[in-house]
Structure 1
Amino acid sequence: MAKITRLSEAEAATDIIADAFGNDAISAWLIPSARDRMPIQRRFFGMYVAHALHHGVVYGIHESGELVGAATWFTAPFPGIPGEEQVIAAFAGENAGRYGLLGRKLVRLHPQVPHHYLNFIALRPGRTGRGLGSLLLEEHHRRLDAQRMPAYLEASSADSRRLYLRHGYVDMAEPLRLPDGPVMYPMWRAPASV
């Protein structure tokens, strides 16, 4: 039986998110060197998980007492990370320019009306395809529906886009095509009637 809790520490959620996304197409575009990718991305994801602990909410999903997934949500507008560009430059080095480009593109797409933003949702390898991601989404969606609050995200793959479509999200703009890189899908979910 899966159990969802709010997490209060960044490390375990960061590990799950880094394992899930650390070598995906977006990460490979951000950091072409496979050797450098995971250490840099672990710092990047950790920075956002820590920020969500203070300015959002971090959920964990547990199976048999083991943390197997995590999701980070922010209420928009949310405060930026102080000195974010300098922090990223310090750990990303020559890759910082790609982070900056992606960040600017995402900011331009981000809706300017009140909503909740799904920053990351991830499951440990081998735990996908069993409905756990849906449970994590539904946990927060119930709160959003009760508050009549919409949600926004950028799906990082066609597979994740299909998951979000099943949960009431719709494409809200043309896909974001990174230069010589992968595609992201900005998506919006209107609150369901309660």
Structure 2
Amino acid sequence: MDRSPRAATLAEAGALTATLAAAFEHDPVLGWLIPDRHRRLRRLERFFALELRHVVLPAGTAWTVDGNAGASLELPPGRWRMPVGAQLAHGPAFTRVFARRLLHALGLITVMEHRHPREPHCYIPYVGVAPAAQGQRLGTALMRPTLDRCDREHLPAYLEATSERNAALYERLGFEHLGAFRFGSSPPLWPMRRPPAAR
């Protein structure tokens, strides 16, 4: 497998949807939002199809490798917030994903958006690697184009870790903790910011 990251095409959205759903099937926060283990994978596929086709690919970049074994999603400065019109337009699809937990999901998204840094920044909403390809530092490789762009343009990078293990990985890449938070009874999220490179 070629580990060199490249920008995914819209035609690859279906393959990446399946990869991201498998990668996040046991994620604590998404598991809290979709507690039905028997339906979680299918609902995550619907969720990531929405994210890729209507949020990330129109405005940013989905970095992947040959074989679509993983993806790192990147949204550029000013393009990370989902417009209210888009939220309303995709309301029925969001309902099919989150069902009775829809209000929890919308509330969590709102809190996450309010916690974003006010400065221009690149946002990395999801980094996921297929279970069979995990443990090979592929996630780190997939993030590299975004981090290199941030260094070139002297921009901070921002993300939310959903586990202490992932937070430790991001720390090794230069991200710093901004203080964990919860939404209601959710598991903790760790917002993290990687400072811009010095000019």
TM-score, scaled to structure 1: 0.90
- One-letter code aligned to 1:6: A
- One-letter code aligned to 2:57: L
Quick check: 97-106 or 51-60, which moved more?
97-106
Q: Does 1:101 align with 2:107?
A: yes
Tell me by how many angstroms 1:104 deviates: 1.6
Matched position secondary structure for 1:122: strand
Aligned to 1:2: 3
Aligned to 2:167: 161
Q: Does 1:181 align with 2:171?
A: no
Q: Does 1:57 align with 2:61?
A: yes
Aligned to 2:28: 25
Question: RMSD in angstroms over aligned alpha carbons?
Answer: 1.8
Q: Which runs of 5+ in 2 are unaligned?
A: none
Aligned to 1:47: 50
- One-letter code aligned to 2:63: Y
Counterparts of 2:91 and 2:117 in 1: how far apart (Å)? 21
Aligned to 1:80: 82
Tell me by how many angstroms 1:135 deviates: 1.1
Give the conservation status (yes or no) of the 8 Å contact 2:33–2:104.
yes
Counterparts of 2:92 and 2:191 in 1: how far apart (Å)? 26
Matched position secondary structure for 1:2: coil
Aligned to 1:70: 71
Runs of 4+ displaced beyond 3 Å: 84-87
Give the conservation status (yes or no) of the 8 Å contact 1:85–1:100.
no
Give the conservation status (yes or no) of the 8 Å contact 1:52–1:74.
yes
Q: 1:86-165 maps to which residues of 2 (within 5 A)?
A: 86-165=92-171
Higher fraction of strand: 1
Name the count of aligned residue pairs: 190
Give the conservation status (yes or no) of the 8 Å contact 2:23–2:130.
yes
Q: Percent identity?
A: 26
